[in-house]
Structure 1
Amino acid sequence: MSNITQKLYLNGEFVDSSNSELIEVISPTTEEVVGYAPKGTREDAISALKSSQDAQKAWAKLPAQSRAELVIELADLLESHADEYARLITLEQGKLFKDALGEVAGSVGFLRYAAESARRIEGEILTSENQDEQIWIQRVPFGVTVGLLAWNYPLALAARKLGNALVTGNTMVVMPPADTPLTVLKFAELIDQSNIPNGVINIVSGDGAVVGDELVRNSMTKLVTLTGSSEVGSILYRSASENITALNLELGGKAPFIVLDDANVDEVVDIAIQSGFGNCGQICTSNERMYIQESIYAEFMEKFVAKAKALKVGDPMLDTTDVGPKVNAREIAGLVEKVTRAKEQGATIACGGGKPEGAEFESGFWFEPTVIMNTTNDMAIMKEEVFGPVVAAMPVKDLEEALSFANDIDLGLSGYVYTNDMRKIMKAVNELEVGEIYVNRPNGELFNGYHTGFKRSGIGGEDGRYGLEGYLQKKTVYVKF
């Protein structure tokens, strides 16, 4: 599956970028060029928006259930090509193949759940204080929407946004991530095979500063939904302000992992490993900083470090592999810088901290599962998102101190709490300043939940009934009869 060359998908046609330039896509496992994506231009972005604008009114006039049936058709097509798409995800992103199969299954699930919501798009009738009058609140589509995707779950994020956008009557221009664009561009083949009308979905790859900027600033765009870093979200926020464009931002996280002394240490260690090193730590809800009650800290960390050392780093296609490569060299350089700074600030590297040894790691973007101890809460490693296989830890006296440390940060996407004391669970639920909390379980959202962040972790959210509502605006109608 090497030397793949994809095209843009504009108004139902596969085309080259208007300047014919290409983006090289590099395998994180081998550093070989595995494919090419079009390097779209502003003109390409405008063409995509015009196509979406032209298609939107007719699409919105279809009954929601008719739109849903076309989304189900797309989900069925994807499910029938699961293995093919999972292999491509692994090739360009380095995700373990078994996890890539899970991403494809999740993508199918996002589309189907959105389709199931078609009959749940509701309005209200309100009582008027005037005689012979009613007030209607209708929920209507925005129109042309833009989906900007992160590289860690490219297909799942495309499906997560497209399903809700389409079922609610919007059209969408999707911009794949520059590092992992191939799977999303290939998804256009299934869209093309489906009966979804031309223009309802357009896909344009390219640089964020060019294609992304045009998509966000253009007045044809009525809603932008982004999954990405807080830094990118801040740039996008300013760009969208010119036209007061609606925003849905799911941004970075620095999840606190709080373990109290009545928790089952062995069970929680396993969860901490899974939630810290899954997808090579490249998940916005990853366990990045652990606050362990001091009475169990030594036991917990001894077991945690031992399991981290035992993780198998290697070929993501093998079932025996636990941790695959990072996505690119830039990400590796960032990890090296963060670990080095932690050591300079006085922390201890309990395991890992660099590239694994062995001939198989001479090429590729590899980083060992890393555990950092002897930290203080003012260190950068406890404040800044790492987005890699690096977990920092420190002891705390009690829940009160853990919550104080956990909240002392400008990010608030997710958090974890482990205790069997319901009073402490409720205290954490009430006081943790995050949009999503995992209590006594690993990370991982469900389709009918709501994935949202506080602070600089974003505005709006995805999934469930509230995620669906994010793609609808309210129209108020005063009816005199």
Structure 2
Amino acid sequence: MTSSTPHLLFINGDWQASAAGRYSEVHSPANGDLLGRVTEATAADVDLAIDAAEQAFASWRLTTALSRANLLLKLNQLIERDRDALAHTITREMGKPLKEAQGELNYCIDLIRFAAENARRIEGDIIPGSRSGEQILIQRLPHGVIAGIAAWNFPAALLGRKLGPALAAGNTVVLKPHELTPLTGLALAGLIKEAGFPPGVINIVTGGIEVGQRLVASPKVKLVTMTGSTAAGKKIMAAAADTLKEVRLELGGKAPFIVMEDADLDAAVEAAVKARFQNAGQICTSNERTLVHASIYDRFVEKLLARVKTLKVGDPLAADTEMGPKVSAGELEKVDAMVQRARQQGARLLTGGERLHGEAYDRGHYYAPTVLDGVTGEMDIARQEVFGPVLSLFKVKDFEHALQLANASDYGLSAYVFTNNLQYLMRLSTDLDFGEIYVNREGGEAAQGFHHGYGDSGLGGEDGKYGLDAYSRHKTVYLNAAKARD
């Protein structure tokens, strides 16, 4: 499909145009090239997708868990077959380096595989009743139509994270890729069609905020799972209240990266760089606040700066690129404004702090890997999610000071700790108020784990058996077989 031919909506197992004939353009963040034109769905288009999902649910819910699992595994085979093409699509529209796009697809496959493997493990309970001859049956049943709304930073994995468990549990879905990165989702739609899913089980509609609003407002949608900003998540939660539907919100983060006096400095530096500059810092679990013990602070900063200055920033399709562009001009300008504000408030710029210029950068949205020193908890950059390639350094006196600064946040998604001190480690589960903690390693969730946060980082959670649980509801049956007595 050429850039002049618009991509259509995927509804009821086939490609459909919109009667409104509205399209948006997708441009490369690396060089500004036009990558494609994408249909903007109207409210009527979204309703068609929801109706298709509702009609498909009547039969899909009755299919065996094994049948649903086999279709998910078939989709995985097709993703594996087209891995290179899909990775290039992710890189072209989102800007992450090609090797990171390939890693994202590996994770997408893992998420779908976990859901498929556990479709037959969605279990209820049989409980002794309180009356003679009675048993209490607690069943796990699908919700119905589920709306999945994805962010732009992981256009394949976030869709896989939502469709895998939803379908494994017997639901049908309407998925909305982000308007900045819709091409990956539409490529997956082609594979969904090829895999042989029944029409209407998976629908993919593209467009802006109006599409998401229509999905959330529909009384036929029983659950909304959304990954995105905290501001958008709060609006979705408020809108969902009108129809009392369930919401699962995976939102922003402000992860502390704690480096204590006994840490392996080289390992901590490498992990701090990966956790901050991977995907140009556009990850909700990114290292947003690097808290380093005073006794090792200078040595850590020296090693950190040396490593940051070696980062290869450039064409994300090049094999040696370690960091690509920001996803859009607006995102780049937001990050630069935060850096300049931090400097005005007293932070010291150690490296970076500007948009990159030159023949390799001028057509794209490239920002220099940036390190700020002397950051304090009162600064805006210490409280607001940066979501960009900016590493903020804090000097801490001891473990208590590190915990105090780490917990001084409205977010509670991820945290990192580098130490081998058993006393410190034993306190992580009780004193560090974050949903997931990485100890002596960089980030990166596992499909069998549980990705969830506290506070402004969202509600619910994704992945693993606890994430799968959310895609079914309980029904309690009091089954009494005793004969009625006179």
SS where residue 258 of structure 1 aligns?
strand
**Whole-Å separation in 1 of the counterparts to 2:18 and 2:292:** 52
Matched residue of 2:376: which SS?
coil
Q: Which residue of 2 aligns with 1:322?
A: 322
Cα distance in 1 for residues equivalent to 2:2 and 2:327: 17
Does 2:21 align with 1:20? yes
Matched position secondary structure for 2:237: helix
Would you say 1:29 and 2:23 are equivalent positions? no
Q: Which runs of 5+ in 1 are unaligned?
A: none
Matches within 5 A, 1:66-465: 66-208=67-209, 210-465=210-465
Tell me how far 1:64 sits from its aligned partner.
0.9
Partner of 1:51: 52
Describe the shift of the 1:190–1:350 C-alpha distance in structure 2 as closer, same or farther (beyond 3 A): same
Q: Which letter maps to 1:232?
A: A
Cα displacement (A) at 1:444: 0.2
Contact 2:111 2:161 (8 Å CA) reproduced: yes
TM-superposition CA deviations, 1:253-304 (whole Å, max 9, x none) = 0100001000111111011011110011111100111110100011101111
In structure 1, what is the equivalent of residue 62 of structure 2?
A: 61
Q: In structure 2, the residue corresponding to 1:461 is in which secondary structure?
A: coil
> Which amino acid letter does the alignment assign opposite residue 171 of structure 1?
T
- When structure 1 is superposed on structure 2, of 420-429 and 180-189 the one drifting more is 420-429
Of residues 47-56 and 351-360 in structure 1, the stretch that sits farther from structure 2 once superposed is 351-360
**Distance across 2 between alignment mates of 1:400 and 1:137:** 45
Aligned length: 480
Query: Counterpart of 1:154 in 2: which secondary structure?
Result: coil
- Cα offsets for 1:167-210 (capped at 9, x unmatched): 100000000101000110121111111121000000001111x1
Q: Where in structure 2 are there 5+ consecutive unaligned residues?
A: 482-486
One-letter amino acid of the structure 2 residue matched with residue 216 of structure 1: V
Give the 4+ runs in structure 1 shifted more than 2 A.
none
Q: Which amino acid aligns with 2:222?
A: K
SS of the equivalent of 1:179 reads coil
Distance in 2 of aligned mates of 1:2 and 1:70: 30
Aligned with 2:196: secondary structure?
coil
Q: Normalising by structure 2, what TM-score?
A: 0.97
CA deviation map 1:198-237 (0-9, x unaligned): 00000001111x1110100110000000010111000000
**Aligned counterpart, 1:38:** 39
Q: 2: distance between equivalents of 1:26 and 1:395?
A: 41
- Higher mean alpha-carbon deviation, 281-290 vs 17-26, is at 17-26
Matched residue SS, 2:438? strand
User: CA offset at residue 2 of structure 1?
Assistant: 6.2
TM-score by length of 1: 0.98
1:5-27 alpha-carbon deviations (Å, 9 max, x no partner): 32100111101223111111010
Match of 2:127, SS state, is: strand
CA distance in 1, matches of 2:414, 2:361: 33
1:396 Cα shift?
0.4
* CA deviation profile, 1:329-386 (whole Å, cap 9, x unmatched): 0100101110011011010111101112422111100001101111111111111101
Structure 2 counterpart of 1:335, which letter?
Answer: V
Question: For residues 29 and 169 of structure 1, what CA distance do their matches in structure 2 show?
Answer: 40
Task: Give, as a single letter, the amino acid of the residue that structure 2 aligns with 1:233.
Answer: G
SS at match of 2:221: coil
| 1-structure distance, mates of 2:344, 2:87 | 40
Amino acid at match of 1:47: L
The answer (yes or no) to whether the contact 2:6–2:38 under 8 Å persists in 1 is yes
Return the alpha-carbon distance in structure 2 between the equivalents of residues 75 and 168 of structure 1: 17
Helix, strand or coil for the counterpart of 1:438?
strand
RMSD after superposition: 1.0
Distance in 2, matches of 1:213 and 1:435, equals 28
Deviation per CA, 1:72-125, whole angstroms, max 9, x where unpaired? 111111110000110111110011111111112221221111100012110001
CA–CA separation in structure 2 for the residues paired with 1:214 and 1:391: 38
Aligned equivalents of 1:214, 1:356: Cα separation in 2: 39
Question: CA contact under 8 A between 1:447 and 1:463: conserved in structure 2?
Answer: yes
Contact 2:252 2:457 in 1 (8 A): yes
Q: CA deviation at 1:409?
A: 1.0
Query: Whole-Å Cα distance in 1 between the matches of residues 421 and 296 of structure 2?
Result: 16
1:93–1:151 Cα contact (<8 Å) kept: yes
Q: Do the aligned residues in 1 keep the contact of 2:75 with 2:191 (CA within 8 Å)? A: yes
Tell me the CA shift for residue 62 of structure 1.
0.5
**2:166–2:471 contact (8 Å) kept in structure 1:** yes
Which residue identity does 2:243 align to in structure 1?
N
Counterparts of 1:147 and 1:281, CA distance in 2: 24
| 1:36 aligned partner, one-letter code | R
> CA–CA distance in 1 between the matches of 2:45 and 2:284?
30
Following the alignment from structure 2 to structure 1, what is the Cα–Cα distance between the partners of residues 463 and 113? 12
The DSSP-based 3-state class of the residue aligned with 2:360 is helix
Counterpart amino acid of residue 121 in structure 1: I
Task: Give me the whole-angstrom Cα distance separating, in 1, the residues matched to 2:96 and 2:144.
Answer: 34
Whole-angstrom CA distance in 2 between matches of 1:387 and 1:270:
19
d(CA) in 1 for partners of 2:79 and 2:269?
A: 35
Aligned equivalents of 1:298, 1:108: Cα separation in 2: 42
Q: Distance in 2 between matches of 1:112 and 1:99?
A: 20
- 2:356·2:362 contact (CA, 8 Å) conserved in 1? no
Residues in 2 aligned to 1:135 and 1:386: alpha-carbon distance in whole angstroms: 50
Task: Tell me, yes or no, if the aligned pair for 1:436 and 1:451 is still in contact at 8 Å.
Answer: yes
- Distance in 1, matches of 2:2 and 2:358, equals 25
Q: CA deviation at 1:427?
A: 1.0
CA distance in 2, matches of 1:316, 1:172: 32
The answer as to whether partners of 2:57 and 2:172 remain within 8 angstroms in 1 is: yes
